[in-house]
Amino acid sequence: MSGQTDLFVKSTGDESVNKEQTSELGSKGGPPMVSCIIIFLNGEVFLEEAIESIRSQSVNDWELILVDDGSTDGATEIARSYAQKYPGKIIYIEHSQHKNLGMSASRNAGLNIARGKYIAFLDADDIWLPNRLEVHLDILEENPDVAMVMGPTLMWSSWNRSNTPERRSWLAADIVTELGLPLNLPLAPPIVAIGFLENHGGNVPGICSLLVRREDLLAVGGFENEFRTLYEDQVFFFKICLNYKVVAIDQVLDYYRQHPDSVCHQAGGNKGDAEMRPIFLEWLQNYLVDGGFKSRRLWRAFRGEMFRFDYPYLWRITNFPRDMVDRFNVWSRRFVIFVLTPKFYNYLRRKLRLSVVDVENVH
């Protein structure tokens, strides 16, 4: 794994051990089917809910690795208490000297001790529905030539309506991401990577919405430690989707919590995303060159995405018509939602057969 740390601390109760010893802990009964990894930097408000959503899964053949990325609030104690209460089943680790090394290094730390056949990631402020692991496991067990299954992610705003006027609390609507891929079919590389590029990264699901084979993730080197916050997930997605088959499903099984204290918001939101994308694309270009990828469509999609940053003014001019249409669609929808009552708005949508996302007609 790229730039992985040489030493981190693993704690179960008062016990601390180095990396060479970790493989011996929690080994009773043999390795689990799935290793679930939660990384966290603070987040005491949500961490317990995330952990309980894993404990509530309809399948129990899992281990949970809690990776502390230098928390300074009560999240550390919450994680340690779970490890003490469920030894071997729930494992707490931290970087040496309780350092903050970033999201990629923390995911690599969890991956480094994971024993499961499959790996699943859940951020500390998100949750899974109870049948999440069961659905994903069934697909990968039935498709041994597929490395990863991924589903749409629910952008979860309705969990907290306190910032919305009471009479219009329904404006805090949840939105499902649209993968824009053929469903329930093994998709050979690099078609999914091409789709990610052609849609400017807009259809990449949350990292909470996938299950990947551990051996395949290890084979591509895990995560890249240089990506501490934003785009660490897209680096991972492209590594897998450029090298292995994946399956997309349309079942919403993951809730991606929207709140101002999330890593994405703290890193600058859309502005931070725009600043990091050229850095990610530079990494991707080197990865494509070093990997000897020859697909013309892949490179055409990549060059089309780079055009936005190499020639930003020219891109704005050529993209102006589509940008205006997109803006009109967004603002007109907001206006209609704001003006109409919830009852009448939903009535119109039913009559016109409209939906936020059409997950059935993506072929």
**119-137 confidence digits (pLDDT tens):** 999 999 999 999 999 999 9
* Domain annotation covers residue 129: yes
What's the CA gap between 299 and 277, in Å, rounded?
17
Q: Under DSSP, is residue 278 helix (H, G, I), strand (E, B) or coil?
A: helix
Tokens representing 71 are: 């928390």
Strands 175-176 and 62-68: unpaired
pLDDT (0 to 100) of residue 345: 60
Strands 127-128 and 254-257: antiparallel
Residues, the chain: 363
The model scores a pTM over 0.75: yes
pLDDT level of residue 308 (50, 70, 90 thresholds): confident
What's the CA gap between 50 and 32, in Å, rounded?
20
* Edge-first strand listing for the sheet containing 90-95: 15-17, 8-12, 90-95, 62-68, 34-40, 118-121, 210-213, 146-150, 245-248
Residue 155 pairs in a beta bridge with 175, 256
Q: Under DSSP, is residue 157 helix (H, G, I), strand (E, B) or coil?
A: coil
Burial code (b: 16+ CB inside 10 Å, e: under 16) for 151-160 equals bbbbbbbbee
Mean pLDDT lowest for which of 163-167, 200-204, 207-211, 289-293?
163-167
Among 99, 48, 90, CA closest to 69? 99
Among 125-134, 275-284, 325-334, the range with the most confident prediction by mean pLDDT is 125-134
Domains contained in the chain, number: 1
What does the pLDDT look like over 172-191, one tens digit per residue? Answer: 567 788 788 899 999 999 99
pLDDT (0 to 100) of residue 25: 42
Among 121, 130, 107, CA closest to 36? 121
Average pLDDT in the 204-214 region? 94
More confident residue, 100 or 273: 100
- Compute φ and ψ for 148, nearest 5 degrees: -150, 145
Query: Hunting for tokens 């007609």 — which residue is that?
Result: 361
* Domain annotation covers residue 312: no
What's the CA gap between 114 and 95, in Å, rounded?
16
* Domain annotation covers residue 326: no
* Domain annotation covers residue 332: no
Strands 8-12 and 90-95: antiparallel
Residue 201 pairs in a beta bridge with none
Among 125-129, 160-164, 273-277, the range with the most confident prediction by mean pLDDT is 125-129
* Helix locations, the chain, DSSP H: 19-22, 47-55, 75-85, 103-113, 132-142, 191-198, 214-219, 232-243, 263-266, 269-291, 296-310, 312-318, 320-339, 342-352
Tokens representing 120 are: 């699943």
Please check the confidence at residue 141 and state whether its pLDDT lies above 50. Answer: yes
* Domain annotation covers residue 323: no
Average pLDDT in the 225-233 region? 91
The CB density around residue 110, as the number of other CB atoms within 10 Å, is 23
* Domain annotation covers residue 192: yes
By the 8 A CB rule, do 67 and 143 touch? no
pLDDT (0 to 100) of residue 36: 98
pLDDT (0 to 100) of residue 6: 47
- Compute φ and ψ for 202, nearest 5 degrees: -75, -15
Average pLDDT in the 145-168 region? 76
pLDDT (0 to 100) of residue 157: 76
The CB density around residue 1, as the number of other CB atoms within 10 Å, is 19
Range of the domain at 106: 8-293
* Domain annotation covers residue 227: yes
pLDDT (0 to 100) of residue 7: 44
* Domain annotation covers residue 321: no
Sign of the dihedral defined by the CA atoms of residues 195, 220, 277, 269, in that order: positive
pLDDT (0 to 100) of residue 175: 78
Find the CATH number of the domain harbouring 224: 3.90.550.10
Mean pLDDT lowest for which of 63-77, 152-166, 265-279?
265-279
What's the CA gap between 238 and 212, in Å, rounded?
13
Helices 269-291 and 296-310: angle between axes, nearest 10 degrees: 140
Sign of the dihedral defined by the CA atoms of residues 295, 297, 300, 304, in that order: negative
pLDDT level of residue 65 (50, 70, 90 thresholds): very high
By the 8 A CB rule, do 82 and 11 touch? no
Helices 296-310 and 191-198: angle between axes, nearest 10 degrees: 20
Please check the confidence at residue 315 and state whether its pLDDT lies above 70. Answer: no
Average pLDDT in the 206-228 region? 96
pLDDT (0 to 100) of residue 2: 57
pLDDT (0 to 100) of residue 219: 98
pLDDT (0 to 100) of residue 336: 65
